[in-house]
Amino acid sequence: MEVKLYVGNMTYSTTEEQLRTLFSEAGNVVTVDIIKDRATGRAKGFAFVTMGSQAEADNAISVFNGKEVGGRALTVNVAKPREERPGGGGRSFNGPNRRGGQGGRGGPSGYGGRGGQNDRGDRGDRGGYGNRGGQGNRGGRDDRG
């Protein structure tokens, strides 16, 4: 059974051929995938190497984890399965002002939550406080019985 290994802390100049040659010392290398930045095409400093069997993968981990290659100690371990990520993320552009969301509703203690975070890292407005803990933009009082 094939086993995929994570190889980290590589120099950015490491090539797929160099990795294939190195890991073939531990066994049969099925694939080598150096991960690159989509925008620049530059290597990100890590890769995935698929070994032919569990025994070969274990051998590669014991031989190469911590081994210095190009002045850097490699990190080699079994790759974790890729996590499900929600699609379509990225920045939110809410118009020219890019303001945070409105404050939250006040609870029994009377304080409202904070608004959303805008693109500049500022916080949105605070909610109001008082007996009814109204929703507010300026954090004003709401003492009207």
CATH number at residue 71: 3.30.70.330
The reported pLDDT for the residue numbered 82 is 85
pLDDT digits (tens, 9 = 90+) for 54-76: 999 999 999 999 999 999 999 99
Query: What six digits make up the tokens of 101?
Result: 């969301």
Residue 112 has pLDDT above 80, yes or no: no
Coarse DSSP helix, strand, coil percentages of the chain, rounded to the nearest 5 percent:
15, 25, 60
| Count of domains forming the chain | 2
User: Are residues 72 and 32 both part of a single domain?
Assistant: yes
Residue 45 buriedness (CB in 10 A; 0-12 / 13-18 / 19+) = middle
Nearest partner of 127 among 143, 141, 108, judged by Cα: 141
Does some domain include residue 89?
A: no
Residue 94, pLDDT > 80, answer no
Beta-bridge mates of residue 114: 126
Alpha helices in the chain (DSSP H): 16-23, 54-64
Supply the pLDDT for residue 6: 98
3-class SS of residue 139: coil
**Domain span at 66:** 3-78
How many Cβ atoms from other residues are within 10 Å of residue 118's Cβ? 16
